[in-house]
Amino acid sequence: MAKNSTSPTTVPDTAWLGRGRHLGPEPERDVRRNLIALKAAGVLDDFLDLDPVEAARPTVLYPRDESADPGPSARRLFEARWRVSDDVTVRAQLTTYDPDSRRKGDEGVTWVLAAEAERAWDAHWPSPATMFWPDSEQIDWDHDTVANLRLRTTNHLPKDDDELRHLLRDCTRQSWYIHVVVHEAMTPDARGQRPISAFLPPSLRHRVIEHRGTPEQAQIADHAMKRELSVRMPRGGGVVLPTAPPSAWYDADRFTVRTVFLDGSEPTELLDRIREFAALPQPLAADAEQALTRLRRGWHLLDPQEELAHAQAMAAQYAEALDAMTHQRDLYREAAEAAHAALAEAPGVDAPRLPGPRPVKAEASPLSGLTKAFGRLRGPGK
């Protein structure tokens, strides 16, 4: 996989991107079972399960380049297509990677997910993550590639100052997710321990990682965040962390909430700040850009309209080839006839017999190739 580095471009408003680690023994099996169940339930229009060799094969409809290949460490590539808001199509690819592609000592299998809709993304649409991964706490698919952080739950801040500052740097520079830090003014009960992300709309829920500071960590968290990110951690409040380097649209005061009640009630002000931050232009990391390119240029799961366009493109190519061959044949005959006439007029030279056009072998005929191409498209539903 590509190294983490930033790109001057931003994430398109039509895209949803995610990256994480699956710690279970058979991640691809979990994906297959979920895809099969959702297609049977009518949630998905269709899906594909490809090995890396199949995924690297080019198509006529979608020209490819090297950046569209999943890479040598890819284990499996899955594609899925579904509709939201009745008529908006979403296409998504999930790629799993061998553990050797990650830092030494990490566990689990890395996955990268890129989804794109036909119009700007709506946070209330279903999460692309749950189209591939089961939305179950028993399946460990939701670990970030940074440290040991996890989606769908709260992550307690390290107690050591150096570890905390190192974590903040990694979260803001390497993670693809939105990071929120909440300080507990007092130890919450079971209702207060519920993660803030549970109140977010579906597509935003799996883009947020929540950190919690214990009551005694107020000073150390404030010091580390001020030193590393130039933001403050209010006692009993919360803050949405910036990216590094910080975006020109980020305002530390704007994304700091002075009071967050951890009593099970909906923290409206903090949720509004998270939604507002998610709507800002986000930097597009180099490996995220590669995943988006792979989705756009390496797509295989064609719908009926795309299948028809594919067949029409192939027919047009064969028609162009046939026209070129016919034109070359006519030029050859004209040249041969001119040479024959010149030789006939030359004194003392017997004109050679003009050879006729060579018969074209059936297997080399453009029309036979076209017939074979359409034959490959025949089948159920084609």
pLDDT value at residue 171: 96
Domains of the chain by residue range: 15-297, 304-341+361-382
Tell me the β-bridge partners of 82.
44, 90
Rg for the chain, CA atoms, rounded: 29
Token representation of residue 197: 């992300």
Token representation of residue 355: 């050879």
297 to 6, 13, 47, 63, 242: CA distances (angstroms): 21, 18, 17, 6, 31
How would you class 186 by CB atoms within 10 Å of its CB: exposed for 0-12, middle for 13-18, buried for 19 or more?
Answer: exposed
Question: Is 83 strand, coil or helix?
Answer: strand
Low-confidence ranges of the chain (pLDDT < 70): 1-8, 57-67, 100-106, 304-315, 317-318, 348-382
pLDDT value at residue 294: 94
How would you class 151 by CB atoms within 10 Å of its CB: exposed for 0-12, middle for 13-18, buried for 19 or more?
Answer: buried
pLDDT value at residue 381: 45
Determine how many CB atoms are found less than 10 A away from the CB of residue 9: 14
The model carries a pTM of: 0.78
The CA distance from 328 to 326, in Å, is 5
Average pLDDT, the chain: 85
Determine how many CB atoms are found less than 10 A away from the CB of residue 268: 10
pLDDT value at residue 334: 82
pLDDT value at residue 382: 43
pLDDT value at residue 101: 46
